């Protein structure tokens, strides 16, 4: 999953820029009912048509230049300074180190490296592996025994609180660019709980204003089908 977000963030703008050839520009003007001057002499309407075509061509060149600045030499997408900061929410049983140095393979093999090398500003929710033992506290809540627990109860409320603090810190660094949550596995559906109704405070703003979106990776948003078999986790 090293390049998961680089692939997810591939910009449609690059294909748009490639489509803006001179022939396409001419077709656009013809479809719009504008007549292009064959040669001289030029009447006023035809001059305006040529000027319009030139403006479109210049726009295409500018679009190509902007696209090239967002794509690296290996054709991977590069983030711009105005892109939101990313906040990674770890999956069940994972720690923050798994996204920095997975299985001890080094920074080069990490998702953090895959994203930062493309210009993204990445924040990883601080989490130690043993902290997942906190979910055992859920057995001491009445809602656990009644079968009506929510993500904000004892079992997972601690995760929500840590994640929201990480969002507040990332938002302060991102400013107006905002943040995007990237939830891995259980971090995906817990990320939905982190969002909540969007009314909780993030600095001087609310979560609804500060958080631009949520990307989930392998998140179990739905239970497996009833006939999936016992080997389906």
pLDDT in tens, the chain (233 residues): 444 444 444 333 333 334 433 344 344 434 444 444 443 344 444 444 445 444 545 544 444 544 454 555 555 667 666 789 999 999 999 999 999 999 999 999 999 999 999 999 999 999 999 999 999 999 999 999 999 999 999 999 999 999 999 999 999 999 999 999 999 999 999 999 999 999 999 988 999 999 999 999 999 888 878 887 776 55
Number of compact structural domains in the chain: 2
Q: Are residues 193 and 90 in the same domain?
A: yes
97 in any annotated domain: yes
Query: Considering 39, 69, 99, which residue would you say is the last residue of a domain?
Result: 69
For the whole model, what pTM was predicted?
A: 0.66
Task: Give the separation between CA 191 and CA 183, rounded to whole angstroms.
Answer: 6
What are all long-range contacts of 195-198, with beta carbons under 8 Å and residues at least 24 apart? none
For residue 155, being part of any structural domain is answered with: yes
Query: Are 54 and 104 within one domain?
Result: no
Whether residues 48 and 110 share a domain: the answer is: no
Q: Quote the CA–CA distance of 95 and 131 in Å, as a whole number.
A: 9
Contact at 8 Å (CB) between 148 and 36?
no
Q: Tell me, yes or no, whether 106 and 212 share the same domain.
A: yes
Confirm whether 34 is domain-assigned. Answer: yes
Residues of 136-173 as b/e, b for ≥16 C-beta within 10 angstroms?
Answer: eebeeeeeeeeeebeeebbbbbebbebbbebbbbbbee
Q: Can you tell me which residue has the tokens 């997942």?
A: 132
Angstrom distance (rounded) from CA 135 to CA 25: 60
Q: Could you tell me if 29 and 93 lie in one domain?
A: no
Q: Considering the domain boundaries, does residue 231 fall inside one?
A: no
Asked if residue 232 belongs to a domain, the reply is: no
Is residue 145, in this structure, part of any structural domain at all?
Answer: yes
Q: Does an H or E element contain 159, and which?
A: helix 157-174
CA distance 233 to 222: 12
Give the domain extent around 99: 85-217
Compute how many other C-beta atoms are within 10 angstroms of the C-beta atom of residue 97. 15
């Amino acid at each position: 999953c090293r390049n998961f977000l680089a692939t997810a963030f591939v910009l449609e703008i690059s294909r748009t820029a490639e489509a803006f050839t001179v022939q396409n520009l001419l077709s656009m003007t013809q479809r719009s009912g504008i007549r292009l001057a064959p040669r001289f002499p030029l009447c006023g309407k035809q001059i305006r048509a040529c000027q319009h075509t030139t403006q479109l061509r210049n726009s295409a060149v500018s679009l190509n230049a902007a696209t090239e600045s967002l794509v690296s030499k290996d054709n991977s997408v590069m983030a711009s300074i105005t892109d939101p900061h990313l906040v990674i929410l770890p999956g069940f049983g994972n720690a923050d180190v798994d996204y920095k140095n997975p299985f001890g393979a080094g920074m080069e093999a990490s998702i953090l490296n895959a994203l930062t090398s493309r210009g993204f500003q990445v924040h990883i929710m601080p989490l130690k592996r043993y902290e997942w033992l906190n979910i055992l506290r859920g057995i001491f809540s009445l809602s656990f025994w009644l079968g009506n627990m929510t993500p904000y109860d004892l079992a997972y409320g601690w995760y929500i609180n840590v994640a929201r603090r990480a969002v507040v810190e990332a938002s302060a660094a991102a400013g107006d660019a905002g943040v995007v949550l990237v939830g891995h596995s259980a971090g995906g559906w817990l990320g939905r709980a982190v969002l909540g109704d969007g009314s909780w405070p993030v600095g001087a703003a609310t979560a609804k204003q500060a958080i631009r979106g949520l990307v989930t990776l392998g998140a179990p948003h739905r239970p497996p089908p009833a006939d999936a078999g016992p080997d389906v986790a």
